[in-house]
Structure 1
Amino acid sequence: MSIEQYIKSDILEKRLADTSVLVIYDGEQRYHQLAQELATDQCTVIDVGEGSLATRQQAISTLSQLKSGKQLLIYVPKAAPMEEEEKQKDPFALYAVAGSVFPDPERSGDNYLDICLKAKPDQATEIRELFAQNEKPSFDVINAIGGGVNWPTLQAALGAEGASNLLFKLMVASKEVQAKLAAESSWYTEAQSLLSSSLGLALRTKQRSWSAIADELWRFVLFSEFVFELNEAVPTSLADVPVAKLSAKPIIEELGDNLRKHTDYQNLYIERASSIETELKLDSLCANITKLGHRDTFPFEEKCYLRQAIDALLADNGDLTRKIVSEHANSVWSSNSESLVNWELVKSSQRLLETCEDLERELPNFIKKQNDLIEFYQSSLRRADQLHREFEQAVNDCPNADELMPGVVGLVRKHYRKLVEPVQQGFTHFTHDSGWPPAEIVSNTQLFDSKVSPLLKSRGNRVAYLMVDALRYELGYELNKQLAEDADTQLSVSFATLPSITSLGMASLLPGAYDKLSLALEDGKTKALYDGKPVGEAEERMGVFKSNYGDRFAEMPLKDFVKMPKKKSVESSVDLLVLRTTEIDSFFESHPEDAPAMMQRELKQIRQAVNKLQDQGFQKVFIVTDHGFYMNNAQEAGDTVTKPDNCWKVEHQRMLLGTGNLDEYHYSLSSNNVGIKSNIQTFAGPRSLSPYRRGKLYYHGGLSLQECLLPVIEITLKPNVIKGGQTANVKLDYKKGAKRITTRFAVIELTLESLSADLFGGADDLEATEVLLEAHSGTGKNLQVVGEARPGEYVNAATGTVTLEPGETIKVTLKMDPEFEGSFKVKAIDPVTNTMLGSALELQTDYAV
């Protein structure tokens, strides 16, 4: 097709068909003849060059009488008006508004060069070279380019047309395609012509096999892209490596982008690029290059930018860090499991640093009053605690963090501590002056009587009371967001009972606790008493519920309820069901480094329990907790508080009980000013977040917003509200069908598809679906979770879930249990109903020793 025919049929005639009115502005009078040739019985062509007034009247008359199927083309032999004032003076500008204009300054691809490239894509390189020498080549010159060159054998064997497509297919040729090429002889000459005309590549190899040519083509394309991206000179030792001509740069970039983005060929790309990097020794020869460009052609470039991101973090250059992360953290190389872990630590560090800086600027506006500080924590400060928890999880997942990122971990922790310490000092100052608990917020001892008890005055109102140990506010906030997607929820707050320890905290959640609960110090030990009787153990606390509600009450561990068979249910006579769990607290006490990841399982169980409670006819669910916690990873040398004297009873390394001396570093509360009946004369503790003993990475028991401001989640259950993704199917893949994982961080691909595409629904009806990714070993009672989705770009750090959009394919890192080896199944699970969404992916470990 000639360039004239392309412009007429693919541009001018199409726009006339779309809008019926077209104005051609042509200062160079390049398109005059084409405009005249478009005149037909259906299309009136008005040439403004023949006389302005007469043509203006003709245009007005034609436009006013324009009927369906008729068209009006106005040819104006001058440049289009660009400024608004020029358009107002142009009598034909209104026709462009009523219809369309050519060339359209707001439409990409309407300039002459782009039109020529679209008309003759196989000769794109030659056309760019021509325009570099002559900005206004004639139609005849454009038509002469290429001379009818084509590559019939290559087109037939590769199943593609166009130079760019042929090059791509030649690089990724399958075994079948290679066999076709081997059976022909003329393809080699055609390949020489294609490579020379489109890329400027003169083959060095004398072999005529596909493998030899592909090796050279891959090296030529990838090295050329690398050189084009460099913002500095290529090392002299690489100066003789062939590079494409500059006019071929767009094709080179298109090939590189397509090879990296096309999921079917990413593994091939990684293999080829890694091999070329090794062959050319790019890692060592380019070690001192820093201006590498935006495309990570070779693996060493991604590592280089990771180092630059780390340096930017240490230099407090947030803008540069964000820029590097946005351009390189999701490259083809970062999908490598080790790289994903490293980049996630950088991103996690960046998020926490920026959040701390923002909150530090806002804090002075909220530090003057206790209520303002508490509200600021609920609305904003809790975000810092959440990101700190996620950051510590990222540190734990990156075992060589200190070696890879020297100084970063310490810097981030220091910034976090710089924010939370003044908050703590202000909070303890207010409490020292006004007592505990703060006014206008319910305390834990009032929770049951104010919220649950009224619902149980008559039979038939079925209430579930979930007593979750150590569910601090930021975790409850995230849990509530997840639950709100499935049911009607309301999040409020309460205050823990001091000291914020499990035995007393759980007892404060009992009915009548405000009047009947007390704390005693006997023989150097604290005892929670209810009506004078011990309630420090779970069995004793459950006895209180039993004495109050008799056969209307039942209780069990949360995990037992979740695992209860579907055929079995709680007796219909039960109006109050207490479900209890201490998993978060227990795991933090014994394995503080791994605890953040474990919390995902606990929140998952809570969601599943809520779904099950609805199925069993409960109307209300209350999720309450005894205390929060503080993660003390940011501790520094000497970061402890000295106990004033030995008269005090030390509780949980965070509180002093009894009597004794106190210094300026301590707050104190008298027994009548602490919110609970007690024979203890004074409650005291550090004004800072430091404990009395060094080395505690996790603690509670004292006075801080993290330990004492608690979430209360009230859920109203309705029939058929909480449902899983019933029409969703999640397709899982590992390295295009590979069956063995060689690392404990395996990257799994997830794609959301429609389970049924028929007259009653299909892909168009599919909605975003929340998914839990887990690896399971064994079956039945022996079923074990041996791998879970690692928090990252797509994975919610609190719940461990992934939200998939219809048709979307994402990559998620599966973090395997370091103690497990063997066969396992990867499953996509509905986090609410615990049902599988699609088929399991069967894999086996094959770790290098």
Structure 2
Amino acid sequence: MSIEQYIKTDILQKRLADTSVLVVYDGEHRYQQLAQDMASEQCEVVDVSQGSLLTRQQAVSALSKLKSGKQLLVYVPKAAPMEEEEKQKDPFALYAAAGCVFPDPERSGDNFLDICLKAKPDQATEIRQLFEQNDNPSFEVINAIGGGVNWPTLQAALHTEGAANLLFKFMTANKEVQSKLAGQKSWHNEALSLFNSTLGLTLRTKQSSWSAIADELWRFVLFSEFVFDLNEAIPASLSDVMVAKSSAKPIIEELGDNLRKHTDYQSLYVERASAVEAELKLSALCVNITKLGNRDTFPFEEKCYLKQAIDALIADERDLTRKIVSEHANSVWSANSDSQVNWELVKSSQRLLETCEDLSRELPNFTKKQSDLIEFYQSSLRRADQLHREFEQAVNDCPVADDLMPGVVNLVRKNYRKLVESVQLRFTHFVNDSGWPPAGFLSNTQVFDSKVEPLLKSSGNRVAYLMVDALRYELGFELNKQLVEDADSHLFAAFATLPSITPVGMASLLPGAYEHLSVSLEDGKTKALYKGKPVGDVAQRMGVFKSQYGDRFHEMTLKDFVKMPKSKSIATSVDLLVIRSTEIDSFFENHPEDAPSMMQRELKQIRQAVNKLQSQGFQKVFIVTDHGFYMNNAQEAGDNVKNPDTNWKVEHQRILLGAGNLDDLHYSLANDKLGIKSDISMFAGPRSLAPYRKGMLYYHGGLSLQECLVPVIEITLKSSVVKAGQTASVVLDYKKGAKRITTRFAVIELKLESLSADLFGEAEDLETTEILLEAHSGTGKNLQVVGEARPGEYVNAATGTVTLEPGDTIKVTLKMDPEFEGKFKVKAIDPVTNSILGDVLELETDYAV
């Protein structure tokens, strides 16, 4: 292969295939003709040397019109800008940012010498001698070197040519190729020549079988890459292990990169590298090495990089943490489930720490007025609660979090607690002075009368009223982001009624609650009363709706509505459908550690319910809630507040009702400042986020933005369901066709493909697609969800939806139900229609324990 062909096929074409946009900077004017030769129907080439203004306009036009499958190459006859200031002045730097660069000054092996060595590794000595005499030899001179060297038998058996390609094909030979080699003898001497001239490898094995030779070649290549990458000396005990000659470094690195990057061979690479690491005892012998370099050759290195990221996080070296994560968190070893959950915990930790620091700097600008603080929470502070929820989910998913990350979990929790406590103290100070609810904001007792009742004054308007227990504001925000994609959805904020407990909170959402609801103490228990009658349970509250709307009213649980057969419909006489859900609160009350992941199912069902309501002919949907909640994972020793007086009735460990003594650690509200009728003389509670009892991981009932600021989502549905036909399919794979999973965190590979083509046979342009990834067991009424996508880079932590970009292949961890074992099916599901997108992956558990 000529050097020109090598550059075109192995560099320019590969980079264009990866990024679609490539800028070729060429100060020596070496690559101009090669760049021009890349022009085709698929690839548009813009040669800047032909005139700056016109070509700049051409490049802008080409970039703006770039479609999936099309490519753009921009040739710039000058050296690539190195400094940030130079890049800002370079009009073509934005194309480099959108795609990639050649030669890339930051990429090892992109200078002309290294390219020549990769193209002709077997002539490395002659090439180096040539460059010592002439640092810019022509292509013709390079092509003239070693023209007579070849390995005909190997070339015929492996169906390729060129030393680098032959080595790659030999290392990855399949059964058919191995069988072909076993029936011949001449390839053996050719292999000896290839290995020696290209890598400096003299085989030690006396066997002539492919298996024995491949074992030694894999060990030699991988260990050589490891040694070349080290920034310190190898241990003395490894000094006798053979290493490639220094001139072979470019081809060694190219082999390692290709073996790891090529998805067809990643499983083989993992198997081989793990075996070499174990054989050479690298994990134990290299335990004291700290300067590893940048390559992910062996699995033990990934653990070292993880520890370095953790150490940098604790040392407050965020740039270093970010660099390590970007370079190593998505390595070939991330397909290992433990690796993924560990790296996700590091990334989640860094996101929360950085967000808390940013918000802490901004907070003083929003603490002078109560309205400013509340609006700041809605726009920004809620992000800390969201990321904290995701962080705690990552901690719970990481089986060795405390051992793996000493100090990190506590550090993150401490920083989060510091931020939310500073917000809490300002918030309770404002409420103590001005009363409840905050002036100028919607109260939950006003929601039904202001939002729903006007629509029901005349028949024909069909409204669904989803009463969701414990849907705090940040969750509502995330849910609304998903709903906006399906319908005309708007998010509002309201304030819960005190005490922020379910019986009172749900009663505050009834019709006429502002006028008729009151709170009382009877026999030491908090009672919600509607026109003086109890409304503390579901039947009593639904009775209020029934008495007011009669046959126009119907109610059911969210679970029952979603599972309702398509053949069944809500009677057309029903104008008000109340749908109830208590799952989120129930998850947290009974299983607080698992609740962040379990709530995804509830939000998924809400979204499906909205779609179903549209098909049932409803025009409006309101999603409301009784209260929020606070996750108290950041508690410390002694982190609770003492009840100042035993005369108080303690409700939900977060609020005091009645009368008694108070200290400076408490706020207090007389019953004329409660925003609700009550014969209770006073409501009081801790100014901080601490409860009255130790060890509570989850609570509500008191006064905080997390407990009391709640979402109201108003959705306008279309008059008829318009759903485009399925145009995309999701291809699923597990370990290149493996049928058994050996861990409860199985890494599934997903790719989005088009189902349709135009008149010319070209696939339609795909758009970013959102799916649910689930594992199902059983069928029909016995169908159970036994696994779901674990939150991560591509998975929304609140809703569990996976985002797929056209052409990308991504890896998502499927978190299996720890109680399930047996056969199951993995499905990509439309989160709105619940239809299956693509083929089903059939697997079976095979856990070691």
Shift in alpha-carbon separation, 1:721–1:148, aligned structure 2, 3 A: farther
The answer (yes or no) to whether the contact 1:127–1:142 under 8 Å persists in 2 is no
1:115-134 correspondence runs (5 A)? 117=116, 121=120, 123=122, 125-126=124-125, 128-131=127-130, 133-134=132-133
* Structure 1 residue 81, shift from structure 2 partner: 9.2
Whole-Å separation in 2 of the counterparts to 1:311 and 1:511: 56
Which position in structure 2 is the counterpart of 1:199? 199
1:6-21 correspondence runs (5 A)? none
Q: Gapped runs of 5+ residues in structure 1?
A: 11-23, 35-58, 60-79, 85-96, 98-105
Which position in structure 2 is the counterpart of 1:295? 295
Residue 108 (1) aligns with residue 107 (2): no
Whole-Å separation in 2 of the counterparts to 1:630 and 1:671: 25
Whole-Å separation in 1 of the counterparts to 2:623 and 2:762: 37
Residue 586 (1) aligns with residue 609 (2): no
Whole-Å separation in 2 of the counterparts to 1:347 and 1:289: 24
Which position in structure 1 is the counterpart of 2:810? 810
Give secondary structure in 2 for the equivalent of 1:265: helix
> Quick one: which amino acid aligns to residue 294 of structure 1?
N
1:87-166 correspondence runs (5 A)? 108=103, 113=112, 117=116, 121=120, 123=122, 125-126=124-125, 128-131=127-130, 133-136=132-135, 142=142, 144-166=144-166
> Quick one: which amino acid aligns to residue 261 of structure 1?
K
* Structure 1 residue 108, shift from structure 2 partner: 3.4
Which position in structure 2 is the counterpart of 1:497? 497
Which position in structure 2 is the counterpart of 1:530? 530
Shift in alpha-carbon separation, 1:503–1:336, aligned structure 2, 3 A: same
Deviates more, 1:284-293 or 1:601-610: 284-293
Which position in structure 1 is the counterpart of 2:67? none
Whole-Å separation in 2 of the counterparts to 1:7 and 1:751: 29
* Structure 1 residue 765, shift from structure 2 partner: 2.9
- 1:76-133 per-position Cα deviation (integer Å, ceiling 9, x unaligned): xxxx99999xxxxxxxxxxxx9xxxxxxxx9639999469829964656345422453
Deviates more, 1:233-242 or 1:610-619: 233-242
The answer (yes or no) to whether the contact 2:123–2:197 under 8 Å persists in 1 is no
Deviates more, 1:193-202 or 1:639-648: 193-202
* Structure 1 residue 137, shift from structure 2 partner: 7.6
Give secondary structure in 2 for the equivalent of 1:609: helix
Residue 545 (1) aligns with residue 540 (2): no
Whole-Å separation in 1 of the counterparts to 2:499 and 2:617: 37
Whole-Å separation in 2 of the counterparts to 1:718 and 1:254: 55
* Structure 1 residue 725, shift from structure 2 partner: 7.3
* Structure 1 residue 283, shift from structure 2 partner: 0.6
Whole-Å separation in 2 of the counterparts to 1:490 and 1:563: 26
Residue 752 (1) aligns with residue 752 (2): yes
* Structure 1 residue 753, shift from structure 2 partner: 1.4
* Structure 1 residue 841, shift from structure 2 partner: 1.2
The answer (yes or no) to whether the contact 1:643–1:692 under 8 Å persists in 2 is yes
Shift in alpha-carbon separation, 1:82–1:816, aligned structure 2, 3 A: closer
* Structure 1 residue 626, shift from structure 2 partner: 0.4
Percent identity over paired residues? 77
Whole-Å separation in 2 of the counterparts to 1:468 and 1:5: 63
Shift in alpha-carbon separation, 1:382–1:289, aligned structure 2, 3 A: same
Which position in structure 2 is the counterpart of 1:565? 565
**Structure 2 length-normalised TM:** 0.86
1:750-789 correspondence runs (5 A)? 750-757=750-757, 759=759, 763-789=763-789
The answer (yes or no) to whether the contact 2:27–2:79 under 8 Å persists in 1 is no
Shift in alpha-carbon separation, 1:171–1:435, aligned structure 2, 3 A: same
The answer (yes or no) to whether the contact 1:113–1:131 under 8 Å persists in 2 is no
Backbone CA RMSD of aligned residues: 2.8
Residue 181 (1) aligns with residue 178 (2): no
The answer (yes or no) to whether the contact 1:746–1:815 under 8 Å persists in 2 is yes
Deviates more, 1:202-211 or 1:283-292: 202-211
Which position in structure 1 is the counterpart of 2:339? 339
* Structure 1 residue 2, shift from structure 2 partner: 8.0
> Quick one: which amino acid aligns to residue 515 of structure 1?
E
* Structure 1 residue 144, shift from structure 2 partner: 4.6
Whole-Å separation in 1 of the counterparts to 2:246 and 2:720: 63
* Structure 1 residue 156, shift from structure 2 partner: 1.1
* Structure 1 residue 173, shift from structure 2 partner: 0.1
Whole-Å separation in 1 of the counterparts to 2:214 and 2:6: 34
1:193-592 correspondence runs (5 A)? 193-592=193-592
Whole-Å separation in 2 of the counterparts to 1:824 and 1:107: 47
Whole-Å separation in 2 of the counterparts to 1:124 and 1:720: 71
Whole-Å separation in 2 of the counterparts to 1:633 and 1:403: 17
Which position in structure 2 is the counterpart of 1:90? none
Deviates more, 1:607-616 or 1:135-144: 135-144
The answer (yes or no) to whether the contact 1:645–1:660 under 8 Å persists in 2 is yes
> Quick one: which amino acid aligns to residue 798 of structure 1?
A
Residue 190 (1) aligns with residue 190 (2): yes
> Quick one: which amino acid aligns to residue 844 of structure 1?
E
Deviates more, 1:149-158 or 1:560-569: 149-158
Whole-Å separation in 2 of the counterparts to 1:446 and 1:5: 73
The answer (yes or no) to whether the contact 1:624–1:711 under 8 Å persists in 2 is yes
Whole-Å separation in 2 of the counterparts to 1:823 and 1:538: 39
Shift in alpha-carbon separation, 1:138–1:264, aligned structure 2, 3 A: closer
Whole-Å separation in 2 of the counterparts to 1:275 and 1:81: 46
Shift in alpha-carbon separation, 1:138–1:266, aligned structure 2, 3 A: closer
Give secondary structure in 1 for the equivalent of 2:264: coil
* Structure 1 residue 730, shift from structure 2 partner: 1.2
* Structure 1 residue 192, shift from structure 2 partner: 1.8
Give secondary structure in 2 for the equivalent of 1:146: coil
Shift in alpha-carbon separation, 1:116–1:481, aligned structure 2, 3 A: closer
Whole-Å separation in 2 of the counterparts to 1:441 and 1:284: 62
1:649-798 correspondence runs (5 A)? 649-719=649-719, 723=723, 726-757=726-757, 759=759, 763-798=763-798
The answer (yes or no) to whether the contact 2:617–2:720 under 8 Å persists in 1 is no
Q: Gapped runs of 5+ residues in structure 2?
A: 11-25, 34-49, 51-76, 82-91, 93-100
Shift in alpha-carbon separation, 1:778–1:668, aligned structure 2, 3 A: same
The answer (yes or no) to whether the contact 1:828–1:837 under 8 Å persists in 2 is yes
Shift in alpha-carbon separation, 1:724–1:242, aligned structure 2, 3 A: farther
Whole-Å separation in 1 of the counterparts to 2:124 and 2:219: 19
1:19-34 correspondence runs (5 A)? none
Give secondary structure in 2 for the equivalent of 1:802: strand
* Structure 1 residue 134, shift from structure 2 partner: 2.4
Which position in structure 2 is the counterpart of 1:55? none
* Structure 1 residue 148, shift from structure 2 partner: 1.4
- 1:214-238 per-position Cα deviation (integer Å, ceiling 9, x unaligned): 1111111111111111111111111
> Quick one: which amino acid aligns to residue 134 of structure 1?
Q
Give secondary structure in 2 for the equivalent of 1:205: coil
The answer (yes or no) to whether the contact 1:749–1:810 under 8 Å persists in 2 is yes
Deviates more, 1:319-328 or 1:618-627: 319-328
> Quick one: which amino acid aligns to residue 130 of structure 1?
Q
The answer (yes or no) to whether the contact 1:658–1:683 under 8 Å persists in 2 is yes
Shift in alpha-carbon separation, 1:664–1:222, aligned structure 2, 3 A: same
Shift in alpha-carbon separation, 1:509–1:2, aligned structure 2, 3 A: closer
> Quick one: which amino acid aligns to residue 322 of structure 2?
R
Whole-Å separation in 1 of the counterparts to 2:316 and 2:508: 45
Whole-Å separation in 1 of the counterparts to 2:498 and 2:233: 67
Whole-Å separation in 2 of the counterparts to 1:149 and 1:336: 42
* Structure 1 residue 343, shift from structure 2 partner: 1.0
* Structure 1 residue 756, shift from structure 2 partner: 3.1
* Structure 1 residue 778, shift from structure 2 partner: 1.2
Whole-Å separation in 2 of the counterparts to 1:189 and 1:626: 79
> Quick one: which amino acid aligns to residue 108 of structure 1?
P
The answer (yes or no) to whether the contact 1:432–1:667 under 8 Å persists in 2 is yes
Whole-Å separation in 1 of the counterparts to 2:28 and 2:398: 62
The answer (yes or no) to whether the contact 1:468–1:626 under 8 Å persists in 2 is yes
* Structure 1 residue 652, shift from structure 2 partner: 0.5
Shift in alpha-carbon separation, 1:492–1:169, aligned structure 2, 3 A: same
- 1:259-284 per-position Cα deviation (integer Å, ceiling 9, x unaligned): 11111111110010011011111111
Deviates more, 1:821-830 or 1:642-651: 821-830
